[in-house]
Amino acid sequence: MYDYLHDENLFEMNMALRCEVKNLKRIVEEYQSGKRYLKIQEDHNRVTNGYIREVKRLRKEIEEAHRQSFEVREKWTNECYDVWQEWQDEKSKYEEKILNLKDKVWEVQRKNDEEKTALILRYEDRLYEKDCVIEKLKNELAHANALLGNDGTNSGLPTSQTPIGKKKRVPNSRTKTGRKKGGQPGHEKHELEAPDESEITDVFRHDPVTEEYVCPSCDGEKCVPTDKKEVKYEYDVCITVKKIKHEYYCYRCLDCGTLFRSQYAPNLRGNVQYGSSLQALTLSLTNTVHAAMGKTSSFLAGITNEILTPCEGYVAKLQKRAARFLRPFREELRRTLISKDILYWDDTVISILGKRGCLRFYGDEGIAYYTAHAHKDMEGIDKDNVLTVLTPRTTLMHDHNSINYNPKFKFRNIECNQHLERDCQKNCDNTGHSWSANLKKLISKAIADRNREVQKGKKSFNHNYIRLFHEQVDKFIATGWNENEALKKNYGASDERSLLRRISKYRDNYFRWLEDFSLPTTNNLSERSLRDVKSHMKISGQFESVEAADDHALIKTYIETCRRNNINEIIALQRLCDGKPYTVQEILSQASK
């Protein structure tokens, strides 16, 4: 058995445990008796009261701290507000100063911007003005070069107006043969035929008795005539003035006793007048030769050795009288004209007392119908009453007169290809673009092919030829738009666009002859018919009135229609002056003879 008494540590532990057990027993007894609970309650009350007193003290301290804090805060707030107010005042002052400075800066900047903008605009205006001047000078230079380049191939300029120093280019569509000019080997020489002996009016004998001859070999003067002789014939004209006397008897009626004279010709109204031959010659000089009325009088006086000297007033009066006799003829010709299947028409500017007037042509190979008006407008066309009454059966050739496309007209339009070729050449000269030159070559080749096909008796091209032609036209037009788009501001670009639009819009009217060879390709007939009036303007100057211009147009209608039907002009005018002009039926019947 272990001896605890001899182990000090264990002894101490044992004693401590005993004390603790004794102490625990005492505590248990106190709990059992209630003493411990009362003590705990007393201690709790004492501690609680202490806490309550401490809480009250702390509350007082907190309230005091709150009061002091409120006072401090209120004082600090007032001080802060004062400082903040001062700061706000200072801030307002500085903000006002800043705003003033900003206003000044903005004003200065605005003035600078305005001055800079004004300066820039002024320089831009000056640059724009200079650009405009440069562009204008470029266009004027290009226009001058274009005018210098104008000739019969790219405009309607006649060869007589070719600029000095430039080679004349005479349009000629005939194919060159390569042969020399003039008579060809084996060609029969044509000379005047000798008249029949019964036709000879004058004989001049060069008598050897009255004339002296010298030998060409030895200069001998003793020459003897032989039986041989050579005969030469000469055709010449001699103006003989006839002074004709007409005698008309007077009659008395045995039934009523009325006294009257025989009916005389309408051209013998006065006691003395000029005859129809002289009147016809006067009208021919005035309307065909385009001699001024004063020169006509001088010419007639010259060829009659001053025997016949009609004055200018007589020439003017004769012009009016002839036109008056021809008005029924004009109406009859108009009715015949509007029944044609194919017609040509064009107009040109004439001068009437210094103002621009208009001479208009309608017709075909057998009819020439002219009218004159004060203005070149629809009113004159309506007054002519030709285009307005044509039916869809009539095909009208013209030089792209846009007035023809008025909805009130019913005829079919075709357009001149020669004018189109000239426009293409002009565009090529002005812009340097190739599409128009290629189109011109295509049209020229097609017209040449057409002429060969016509000689073979063909009436149109085959469908494959027409299709290929239009495909090439489409290709050239597309190329034209591309070339124009690349240089839109060049001289001639706007005209080029107009030409492209016109070809695209009216291509059927330009190329309808591909499908029908009976249709013409050009309006040259109208051009030739109106070319004569330009000579009249150059020689005679101008017309004194619209009526005078229309009188000229009326007489020219009669003369030209007779000429186109193989009727001598002077004979036709003699009949007119006798009061019996040719009728339209008589004229047209001469064409078949």
What string of DSSP letters covers 538-557? HHH--BSSHHHHHHHHHHHH
Same domain, residue pair 343 and 441: no
Q: For residue 215, is it within any domain?
A: no
Same domain, residue pair 449 and 505: yes
Q: Inform me whether the pLDDT recorded for 232 exceeds 90.
A: no
Q: Single out the residue in 149, 170, 197 at which a domain terminates.
A: 149
Same domain, residue pair 375 and 507: no
Same domain, residue pair 446 and 548: no
Residue 571: predicted pLDDT: 94
For residues 298 and 77, the model is more confident at 298
Q: Inform me whether the pLDDT recorded for 546 exceeds 70.
A: yes
CA angle 261, 264, 266 (to 5 degrees): 140
Same domain, residue pair 508 and 550: no
**Distance from the Cα of residue 462 to its chain's centroid:** 34
Same domain, residue pair 429 and 410: no
Rg (the chain; Cα; Å): 60
Residue 592: predicted pLDDT: 63
Same domain, residue pair 136 and 285: no
pTM recorded for the entire structure: 0.70
Least confident of 238-247, 355-364, 516-525: 238-247
Residue 244: predicted pLDDT: 87
CA atoms within 13 A on the CB side of 65: 6
Structurally, the chain folds into a number of domains equal to 3
Q: For residue 231, is it within any domain?
A: no
Residue 333: predicted pLDDT: 95
Q: For residue 243, is it within any domain?
A: no
Looking at residues 143-164, what average pLDDT do you find?
60
Least confident of 13-27, 330-344, 364-378, 540-554: 13-27
Cα(first)–Cα(last) distance of the chain, in Å?
187
> For the packed helices 312-337 and 293-303, what is the interaxial angle rounded to 10 degrees?
110
Other C-beta atoms within 10 Å of 523: how many? Answer: 24
Same domain, residue pair 333 and 391: yes
Q: Are 316 and 323 in contact (CB under 8 A)?
A: no
Spatial separation of the C-alpha atoms in residues 141 and 133, rounded to whole Å: 12
Q: Single out the residue in 485, 514, 543 at which a domain terminates.
A: 514
Look up the domain containing 492 and give its range: 417-514
Q: For residue 326, is it within any domain?
A: yes
Q: For residue 186, is it within any domain?
A: no
Q: Single out the residue in 497, 514, 531 at which a domain terminates.
A: 514
Least confident of 29-38, 300-309, 465-474, 543-552: 29-38
Residue 327: predicted pLDDT: 94
Same domain, residue pair 350 and 494: no
Residue 152: predicted pLDDT: 56
Q: For residue 506, is it within any domain?
A: yes
> What percent of the chain is modeled with pLDDT above 90?
40
Same domain, residue pair 469 and 388: no
Q: For residue 391, is it within any domain?
A: yes
Question: Where does the pLDDT of residue 1 fall: very low under 50, low under 70, confident under 90, or very high at 90 and above?
Answer: very low
Same domain, residue pair 390 and 484: no
Helix, strand or coil for residue 103?
Answer: helix
pLDDT tens-digit series, residues 492-510: 788 899 999 999 999 999 9
Residue 34: predicted pLDDT: 75
Residue 72: predicted pLDDT: 78
Same domain, residue pair 411 and 534: yes
Residue 212: predicted pLDDT: 63
Please list, in sequence order, all residues whose beta carbon lies within 8 angstroms of the beta carbon of residue 202, skipping any fewer than 6 positions away: none
Q: Tell me the one-letter amino acid at 115.
A: E
Residue 227: predicted pLDDT: 75
Spatial separation of the C-alpha atoms in residues 75 and 363, rounded to whole Å: 120
Question: Where does the pLDDT of residue 480 fall: very low under 50, low under 70, confident under 90, or very high at 90 and above?
Answer: very high
pLDDT tens-digit series, residues 315-328: 999 999 999 999 99
Residue 176: predicted pLDDT: 67
Q: For residue 504, is it within any domain?
A: yes
Please list, in sequence order, all residues whose beta carbon lies within 8 angstroms of the beta carbon of residue 133, skipping any fewer than 6 positions away: none
> For the packed helices 569-577 and 546-564, what is the interaxial angle rounded to 10 degrees?
130
**Residue for token pair 């003017």:** 316
